[in-house]
Amino acid sequence: MPRTVRDFRADTDEPLTMLTAYDAPTAAICEAAGIDALLVGDSVGNAALGYDSTLPVTVEEIASRTGAISRATEEPLVIADLPFLSFGVEEAQSIRNAGRMVKEAGANAVKIESGSHTVSLTERLVELGIPVLAHLGLTPQRVNELGYAQQGDSEETAERIAELACEHERAGAFALVLEHVPEDLAREVTEELSVPTIGIGAGPGTDGQVLVVDDVIGLSTRSPPFAESFGDVRGEMEGAIGTFAERVSEGAFPAEEDSSDAEVEDDAAL
Ligand code: KIV
């Protein structure tokens, strides 16, 4: 069955689940766990590409990772993040960049770190058949202006976030990510909107939750205060890679039975 934003919107009896994913094996594991949507976030910059912010991430980097995620999965909605300055400078270029994610990489939708400058762009993309996930609150592409602090903690800024949420809903956004905002504000926006809200560091009152997958599996070395780790993949990797290094250095691997003459299983990857 084709994955559509309509299915995603309709599926809010239980809280919606969204995780970032940057590679095919992780995406397949997320799909098997029943995750509703996979976000190819520009957080790939920090998580996998060695940048110290999301600002250097390129359209090519997101498109390449998005291709891997859409090839590896069938059910979850695949959402490609539009990187810093790939949108909002010129409308035609913003549309071409968003279009690449759908046409070339197989995304079902794009996410845009939103503000007053993205309302008409959202409307235009939706008109053209490119569904948009809006993103308000802490928007890490504005790190040079805001840092990574909680947003919407004054009456004035909370009101502005609530207004922008309504403006993006009216412009046709199919859902809204609310990042690092007070719980009360997230609840209020969720009640106000008819499209689902997906929270990250926004408390339990939203329609769904998203986290960076590296934080969830325990691979990140630095996580935001609102992230939670549900595993210890870093510990597992350290153990396996350390054991490999040790076994090779002491001459214990490969042993006779590991030699290349051993029969290869038909479906083994070579
Ligand atoms: O880039 C990203 O991973 C994100 C999520 C944390 C919402 O924007």
Alpha-carbon distance of 3 to 27, in angstroms, equals 15
Protein residue closest via CA to atom 5 of ligand 1: 41
Mean pLDDT of 73-82: 98
Handedness of CA 237, 76, 132, 188 (dihedral sign): negative
188: Cβ below 6 Å to ligand 1? no
Tell me, rounded to whole angstroms, the distance of Cα 208 from its chain centroid. 13
Instruction: Confirm if 20 and 41 have CB atoms less than 8 A apart.
Output: yes
Alpha-carbon distance of 169 to 37, in angstroms, equals 19
Residue 228 confidence (pLDDT)? 95
Residue pLDDT, tens place only, 186-199: 999 999 999 999 99
* Distance from Cα 1 to the centre of ligand 1, integer Å: 27
Tell me the residue length of the chain.
Answer: 270
E strand map for 130-212: 132-137, 175-179, 197-200, 208-211
Residue 3 confidence (pLDDT)? 81
* Distance from Cα 87 to the centre of ligand 1, integer Å: 16
Residue 248 confidence (pLDDT)? 98
Residue 256 has pLDDT above 90, yes or no: no
81: Cβ below 6 Å to ligand 1? yes
Q: Which amino acid is at 72?
A: A
Q: Can 179 be counted among the known catalytic residues?
A: yes
Mutate to test the pocket of ligand 1, among 16, 19, 39 (most ligand atoms within 8 A of CB): 39
In a 3-state reduction of DSSP, which class is residue 110? strand
Mean pLDDT of 5-33: 93
* Distance from Cα 42 to the centre of ligand 1, integer Å: 6
Mean pLDDT of 124-153: 97
Mean pLDDT of 106-132: 98
Protein residue closest via CA to atom 1 of ligand 1: 41
Residue pLDDT, tens place only, 33-68: 999 999 999 999 999 999 999 999 999 999 999 999
Residue in 123, 179, 256, 263 annotated catalytic: 179
Protein residue closest via CA to atom 3 of ligand 1: 41
E strand map for 30-124: 37-40, 77-81, 109-113
Instruction: Confirm if 45 and 81 have CB atoms less than 8 A apart.
Output: no
Residue 42 confidence (pLDDT)? 98
* Distance from Cα 261 to the centre of ligand 1, integer Å: 46
30: Cβ below 6 Å to ligand 1? no
Residue 133 has pLDDT above 70, yes or no: yes
Q: For residues 73 and 9, which has the higher predicted lDDT (pLDDT)?
A: 73
Mean pLDDT of 12-40: 96
Alpha-carbon distance of 175 to 195, in angstroms, equals 5
Q: Give this prediction's pTM.
A: 0.94
212: Cβ below 6 Å to ligand 1? yes
**% of the chain beyond a pLDDT of 90:** 91
220: Cβ below 6 Å to ligand 1? no
In a 3-state reduction of DSSP, which class is residue 178? strand
* Distance from Cα 41 to the centre of ligand 1, integer Å: 5
CA-closest candidate to residue 119, choices 137, 101, 104, 132: 132
Residue 9 has pLDDT above 90, yes or no: no
Where do the domains of the chain lie, and which CATH numbers do they carry? Answer: 5-231 (3.20.20.60), 235-268 (no CATH)
Atom of ligand 1 minimally distant from the CA of 177: 7
Residue 268 has pLDDT above 60, yes or no: no
Mean pLDDT of 223-252: 97
Residue 104 confidence (pLDDT)? 98
Residue 118 confidence (pLDDT)? 98
Residue 22 has pLDDT above 60, yes or no: yes
Residue pLDDT, tens place only, 216-237: 999 999 999 999 999 999 999 9
